[in-house]
Amino acid sequence: MAPSASVKTKKILVEFPEDLLRQAEQAAADLATDRSKLIRSALSSFLERRERARLAKALAEGYATHANVDRQAVAEFDDVDSENF
């Protein structure tokens, strides 16, 4: 996600191991972009994946929490399912 003209940016200093920096520079060259854009894009992708994982975990916990209530509701309708209409 590249910053637009209306988005405030701030410069930061980040230390990288030399090998990782070389890989980032090569990837930026391969993609015809600059290092900053590559790192912003990578961080944005990471944060999106992290948020999706957090939401998936919350959903799974919600389903697990309400599993007994759901089973009780199904049990209440067992008799209705067996009736002939």
Taking the C-alpha atoms of residue 30 and residue 23, their distance in angstroms, rounded to an integer, is 10
Count of CB atoms situated within 10 Å of the CB of 21: 13
Domain coverage including residue 57: 18-82
Tell me how many domains the chain contains.
1
In a domain, 69, yes or no: yes
The pLDDT tens digits of the residues spanning 55-71 come to: 999 999 988 888 888 88
The pLDDT tens digits of the residues spanning 2-40 come to: 566 688 999 999 999 999 999 999 999 999 999 999 999
In a domain, 65, yes or no: yes
Taking the C-alpha atoms of residue 44 and residue 38, their distance in angstroms, rounded to an integer, is 10
Give the pLDDT confidence score for residue 20 in this predicted structure.
Answer: 97
In a domain, 8, yes or no: no
Burial 45-63 (b: 16+ CB within 10 A, else e): eeeeeeeeeeeeeeeeeee
In a domain, 66, yes or no: yes
User: How confident is residue 72, by pLDDT bands cut at 50, 70 and 90?
Assistant: confident
Q: Which is more confident, 6 or 82?
A: 6
Q: What is the mean pLDDT of residues 42-64?
A: 95
